Every structure is written in C-alpha cells, then in structure tokens.
Amino acid sequence: PAACDLQGLWRNELGSNMTLLALDMDGTFSGSYHTAVAATDKQILVSPLQGALQPPGTKGQQPTFGFTVQWQFADSTTVFVGQCFVDRRGKEVLETAWLLREGVPSRRDVWKATRVGTSVFTRVK
C-alpha cells in the first residue's frame, strides 16, 4: 500500500484528538493535541506538538515518526514514537508508544516522574 499521510485529524483509544499539519520540506511537522485525560485536575488546554517523519524505508516499509507535546496546562512533557500502517482496505492506523515526564520538586522524586504506554490512533478526517 501507499505510504500513509500523517496530515489530518486522528483519535486514540482514550478519546484524545490530535491534528497533524502538512509536512515541511525536511519531514518535520507541527500540530495540536487535545487530550481527553490528564494526570492532574487542571483544566485541559489544547497543546502544540512538533515532530519529524522519516522517509519511507528501503524495504517498502511504512515510515516511522516521533513528536513532542508541550502541554499548556501542566509542567509535563510527552513524547510519542510510532509507525503508520495501512490495511488492505486502505484504513490507516498510527501504532505508537509514549513517555510522559512529569515535573517533580527534587531528585528524590525522579523515580516516579516517568509514565509509559502505547496508543493506537485512527483517522477521523
């Protein structure tokens, strides 16, 4: 199948929505992330993201990518890495893994500062 197009509106299993904008010439991209959940009770704000997509591999594989979300309502940062897949029916999915680093007051608390997970995004638009 053809390489999938990252540009558009995507939703994950938590109900979070993200909009990825068109790729720049160098494979970098930006967008926005509207998370459905948060680690704190603070009011959720739509937050910017910056990423990079690798060119399609030599083996005809789908490309990998990564992006960073700079949360506008928390001191934390999340990075996502993933790969886009297209099934035989042309349905696109983004299979990702993420790390969420929360701000902690001191080095003593670093042990609990990182969360990890996986997430699958499907195209909404």
Q: Which long-range contacts (C-beta less than 8 Å, at least 24 apart) are formed by 98-104?
A: 100/39, 100/76, 101/76, 101/77, 102/39, 102/74, 102/75, 102/76, 103/75, 103/76
Among 25, 37, 87, 107, binds ligand BTN (CB under 6 A): 37
Within 68-97, which residues bind ligand BTN (CB under 6 A)?
71, 74, 76, 78
Under rule CB under 6 A, residue 7 binds ligand BTN: no
Token pair of 28, please? 């970098």
31-39, 49-57, 60-68, 84-92 -> range binding ligand BTN (CB under 6 A) = 31-39
Binding residues vs ligand BTN (CB under 6 A)? 12, 14, 16, 35, 37-40, 71, 74, 76, 78, 98, 100, 102, 117, 119
